[in-house]
Amino acid sequence: MTAQSAGMGRAAAARPQPRVRAKDLLGFVFIAPWLISFLAFDLMPILSGFYHSFTNWNALGIAEFIGWANYEEALTRDPLFWVSVNRTLYFIAGSVPLGIFAAFTLALLLNANIRGTGFYRTVYYLPSVVPTVAAVIVWIFIFETRRGILNFGLELLGLPTIRWLSDPNWAMPALIIMSLWTIGAAMIIFLAGLQGIPQELYEAAEVDGANGPQRLFGITVPLMTPTIFFNLIMGLVAAFQAFNNAFIMTAGGPRNATLLYMLHLYNNAFRYFRMGYASALAVMLFIVVFGITILVYRSSDRWVYYS
Amino acid sequence: MSNRRSFGRSTLLAALALALLLGTLAGCVPAAPAPAGEAAAPAAPSAETIKVRFWNHWLAARVELIDQIIADFEQDFPNIDVENLGQPWDRREENMFAALASNDPPEVVMATRAELLKLANDGLIVPITDMVEEQGLDLDKFYPGEIGNFYWEGELYSMPMPTGGGISGMILINKDMFEAAGLDPVPPTTWQELWDAGKALTVIDDKGIVQIGANVGTSATSFFAWLYTNNGQIYSDDLRSVGFNSPEGIETLQWMVDYTNEINGGVQNVLDFYVTGQEANEAQPWYNDIEAMIFPNVSIFFHMQTIKPELQWDLGLRPYNANNPDAESHGLSGEEFAWGYVIPAGVPEEKREAAFEWIKKITYEEDGGGWFMIQQSRPSPIRSVNEDPSFYEANPAWDTVLASLESDVSVQIFPEHVRVRDIVEQAVQAAMFGDMTPEEALNDAAEQAQAIMDEFWSAQE
Amino acid sequence: MLNSIRLQNVVRRLSIHTVLLAGSLIMVIPLLWTLSTSLKTQQQIAIWPPEWIPNPVKWSNYIEVFGAAPVMLWIRNSLVIVAANVFGSVVTCSLVAYGFARMRFPGRDALFILLLSTLMMPYIVRLIPLYVFYSQIGWLNTFLPVTVPQLLARNPFFIFLLRQFFKGIPFELSDAARIDGCGEFGIWWRIILPLSKPALAAVAIFAFRDAWDNFLAPLIYMAGAPHLRPLAVGLYTLRGGGGQLPDTNYLMALSTLMVIPMLIMFAMGQRYFIRGVTLSGIKG
């Protein structure tokens, strides 16, 4: 145990108890900007979403109350509802764990003492910064069956080529691969988190005879748990609402292989003028994401370590 | 300690200063017509000038053309001020929806025919029937397949520009490729001729299609187009029941699936072949001599002139099914695109007349909408405009184009057509991928579509 | 003995570099392709498969694009939006995050959950009501809808991120400062912020990028004001669509140009990702 951590323990015991009233007001003052923006810009639209899920609103005019009809339709009669749920879960299971793992590994690599970290960091963040319109065109080219780079690489390795965007079995893996391309943002967050780990801890551990993996799992990972927690929750929230690439590149196909939940929602809202039904879909998504987030949040007491 | 305090301030200030400096510099550009941040308050129209905001998707080179028409218009109507609000194509639906939801919507909004029908049915746009009558406009100057697209329940809601037709009635061939394959460079006129030509012109290797004769299409829109060349219909004439799962419909889809499987080697081959998607992108196979026949819309002529003027092409009407004695070559008008210009119901009474005048200019007037089409070498929905000699000079097959427009049928659709089209799309895909036979797929789709139709009509009462 | 350690080191570094370089190639290819296309004429773009190095190289596309479209105007507009977003994110969001991370008040955790939950309701169903609201208060066709919310810390992502970092700073530091008579605001400014440089740099980079590339909000809220269009929206007007030919080479030239400020911003922010700056030097 280092002097640092011993000091932390003592300070925790000696922490002065704040006076309740003054601190309360002050706390609200600090979060006031967000509170105002929430009340002004978020509260009403969110409540509107909940309310309209019980109507047949077409987004522009009349909204008749129809009770649970939208929910019933989604869960029992909409042939595409469960398809989109299935596709979205597939996407999440593929992209979130892979993404976090890859971003974390990258951050570790780029935190190491090798030359060119600045260059590499920029290059790995670059994809997040290329405008979507250009990126999509290029990705279609990359996935091309005949001349695409991916298949070219597969051939070099002696593997059979894959019809990425026209084969219903491979379209979703293609989307998952595309999502890995933009892990630069998560990587930066992990990088920032790694900066917060004091060098002394590593030095002390080395003195104590700890090797690489021991330092990694004994110091780095535990101290990175707040960041991992963040990337996990944000990753899940984003993946549940993934939309752009499926919308622009595959339009949900082929054969609904990439019909993500948000895409189905979008179609109902803006193509079919069924904003009421779309609201019901949105509410159900909200409930699921909220539930999962609460679960992760609760579990965080057990594995997230704030110093 | 003082070091750390200064970090925050200096960096922040530097960044802000830089941004402001660049912003001011960039602001010293003559193009900005109004200071940024000025709120566009809902215009309380003075008795003198009425502002008409024209929400449209005519971009790039078209912006200038629209501006010229506006200048011309404002000379005739000095008290009307038209603003050209060209909107990007992307996220069009969300954008338009939001605009219509505003408490001060644009006075003229460009919308597709399907959207127009939905808006009309829900009472969200203003009919122009009375205004047309008051001015004694002669709607016969339009092709029937064009003006027919904008009626709903007896009321007219817009006039056409550009053509809703000329989208599906034509076939274009690459004469050089035909000759190279030992064929007469003449467009096929029937399904059977198309089959034979496609067989001779398609080359496949182990990776897929190297050269394609024709892609009969793998979407609902293609299916509908072929359906009408087999004497089939999407809906019944009274719009109360579906018609696409008729024997003609099943035969059509079967033919499409057979062609795709036997001649093109399967739907995946076709999807792989067209990598760049549906945009009028220059990298399309047609411009690279690996596609022998296409079913284009009328904007192709201008594109070909721009991208590959040396292409040797010939034009025909879309092949029909020779095995069906009642089948003829028909194009469809208004099933998919067909743009209209509508007046949202939220526009106050006193501005509607002005909005209508602008709609009239951009659609009905030969020197407005007609001129706009001539500049783009595209046919106009107005017959007389299409007799302009410049069209004949630029396009030797112009008569065929006009014949196609005359034959285009204004498809009777109802406001929920987009949903039905998506359902049929599912069916076509299922048949193409072999998950269902065409009969099963179409019947399944018909069941779902009929349910929607029934729901719609019962809600109308 | 020493030789084998050195060899181990070299091998280790070499393998890291190899992996990173391979990955870099994948990351960079799309941008290279964009660059390559931006240097072609429309006829050259039509050639399939595409040539990587166009012949001849048309650098003038980069100049012509400024004439083909009001690019300077778009840039100016983008800068306004970006400035508000970056300022709001770094300053206001960190204030809010401080409140959630290091202060106690009743309902704090519940409010934090509320904050997170605003991310979970898809924007699609919130779009129209919010738009109508802006329409009623006259904010449409101004910069207000894309600047004021950012200045008011309407960004749960950043707040959450900064909260995590702030929570990781030992409470003994702020406690000590409090004993010394430092107020909460002072603690935020003098202790928490300086110790959070990497996180703040990350937030600044993200905020810049979000504002720079944001398409939907400016599209919809400023649809009636083309003179207020930022680059991200202007870019899309070059796309054509609906039977119109896109100006692909200009589109790509502009896309390439758009990447440059991002790279500058990233380079600037990256400097703060320096190891060990945080806790060393502050003892007791």
Position B14 scores a pLDDT of 53
What domains lie within chain B, and their CATH numbers? 50-165+335-403 (3.40.190.10), 174-330+416-460 (3.40.190.10)
Of residues B429 and B22, which shows the higher confidence score? B429
- Model pTM greater than 0.95? no
Residues B42/B346, Cβ–Cβ less than 8 Å: no
CB pairs under 8 A between A and B: 65
Nearest to C30 among A138, A189, A290 (CB): A138
pLDDT tier, B7 (very low <50, low <70, confident <90, very high otherwise)? very low
Residues B372/B64, Cβ–Cβ less than 8 Å: no
**B347-361 as b/e: b if 16+ CB within 10 A:** beeebbebbbbbbbb
Cis peptide bond N-terminal to C54, omega within 30: no
Closest CA to C280 of A159, B173, A202, B305: A202
Secondary structure (3-state) at A204: helix
| pLDDT tens-digit series, residues A174-226 | 999 989 888 888 998 898 888 878 778 888 888 888 777 888 888 888 888 88
Whole-number Cα distances in Å, A21 to A25, A27, A29, B97: 7, 10, 13, 48
pLDDT tier, A87 (very low <50, low <70, confident <90, very high otherwise)? very high
CA of B205: which chain A residue's CA is closest? A146
Query: Is residue B270 within a helix (H) or strand (E), and if so which, with residue range?
Result: helix B267-273
Minimum distance, in Å, between the CA of residue B93 and any CA atom of chain C? 10
State the ipTM, two decimals: 0.84
| pLDDT tens-digit series, residues B81-132 | 999 999 988 889 999 999 998 888 999 999 999 999 999 999 999 999 999 9
C267 touches chain A (CB under 8 A): yes
- Minimum mean pLDDT range among A128-137, B100-109, B222-231, C45-54: C45-54
C 127-166 near A (Cβ less than 8 A): 127-130, 133, 149, 151-154, 157, 159-161, 164-165
Is residue A61 a part of any domain in this protein? no
Domain of A275, CATH number, reads: 1.10.3720.10
Distance from C-alpha of C158 to C-alpha of C155, rounded to nearest angstrom: 6
Whole-number Cα distances in Å, B100 to B44, B96, B125: 19, 6, 10
Is residue A252 a part of any domain in this protein? yes
B124 touches chain C (CB under 8 A): no
Side-chain-side CA neighbours of A116 within 13 Å: the count stands at: 12
How many domains does chain A fold into?
Answer: 1
Closest CA to C8 of A217, A102, A212: A212
Q: Which phi and psi (to 5°) does residue B241 adopt?
A: -140, 160
Secondary structure (3-state) at C49: coil
Distance from C-alpha of A64 to C-alpha of A66, rounded to nearest angstrom: 6
The pair of structure tokens assigned to B213 is 């004769």
Q: How far is C-alpha A278 from the geometric centre of its chain's CA atoms?
A: 22
Cis peptide bond N-terminal to A213, omega within 30: no
Per CB-CB distance under 8 Å, the chain C contacts of A141 are 33, 50
**Which range of residues forms the domain containing residue A229?**
70-129+180-303
Given a cut of 80, whether residue C51 has pLDDT beyond it is: no
What residue spans define the domains of chain C?
A: 70-270
Nearest to B307 among C46, C87, C193 (CB): C46
| pLDDT tens-digit series, residues B325-355 | 999 988 888 888 789 999 999 999 999 999 9
How many other C-beta atoms lie within 10 A of the C-beta of residue C109?
Answer: 11
Beta-strand runs (E) in B194-331: 203-205, 208-214, 291-294, 313-317
| pLDDT tens-digit series, residues B223-267 | 999 999 999 999 999 999 999 999 999 999 999 999 999 999 999
How is domain C70-270 classified at the CATH fold level? MetI-like fold (1.10.3720)
Radius of gyration for chain C, computed over Cα atoms and rounded to the nearest angstrom: 24
Of residues B275 and C219, which shows the higher confidence score? C219
CA of B41: which chain C residue's CA is closest? C138
Per CB-CB distance under 8 Å, the chain C contacts of B287 are 46
Given a cut of 50, whether residue B279 has pLDDT beyond it is: no
